[in-house]
Amino acid sequence: MKKLEEEYEKIHPKIYTFFYAKTGNQATAQDLCHDTFYEACKNIASFNGHSTLSTWVFSIANNLLKKYYRKNKYQQSLMQKLASLPDNETHSLEEMAEINEETKILLHHISKLDDASREIILLRIYGELSFAEIGILIGKSENYTRVTFHRLKLKIQKLMEETL
């Protein structure tokens, strides 16, 4: 921990600059920088010395940046999906209300899933990734992601039927 504290003064400006260059936002860069050092402190026991401390901290930073991009991609994609719902010219007001209500219920059920399950659902539906790509991202096999997605889809369909 002492070594991390000593390196902090040297690494912090580099990590901040890295995040600022990637995001273009000071507040986001500060938040991600803070999160990086929090994760580093929390997981310092896992640092095995096979790389420099700087490299290890930058790998944490890079992983957090990927997570940030995925999160924003989901949010943007979700907003696009919601915005692309059929317009009032082709559907009645009742049909639009029903579509919006079903979407809200679906999102509610997805939000109730555990993190790993929610990630698989969101990567597949909103990220439009293949099962192989999802497997790589979550560190599982393609078959695992395919079966898990299928089971989650059935579970959500059942919950939707009970709700509606």
Same domain, 117 and 158: yes
Q: Is residue 79 assigned to a domain? A: no
Shared domain for 94 and 146, answered yes or no, is yes
pLDDT tens, residue by residue, 51-106: 788 888 888 988 998 888 877 765 565 555 555 544 444 555 565 566 567 777 88
In angstroms, how far is CA 133 from the centroid of its own chain?
Answer: 14
Q: Is residue 80 part of a domain?
A: no
Domain containing residue 150: CATH number: 1.10.10.10
Residue 74 in any domain: the answer is: no
pTM for the whole structure: 0.46
Q: 144 pLDDT exceeds 70?
A: yes
Residues 100 and 35 in one domain: no
Domain housing 35: 2-67
Which of 67, 93, 115 is where one domain is finished? 67
- Total domains present in the chain: 2
Q: pLDDT of 24-55, one tens digit each?
A: 788 888 999 999 989 988 988 888 888 788 88
The verdict on residue 90 lying in a domain is: yes
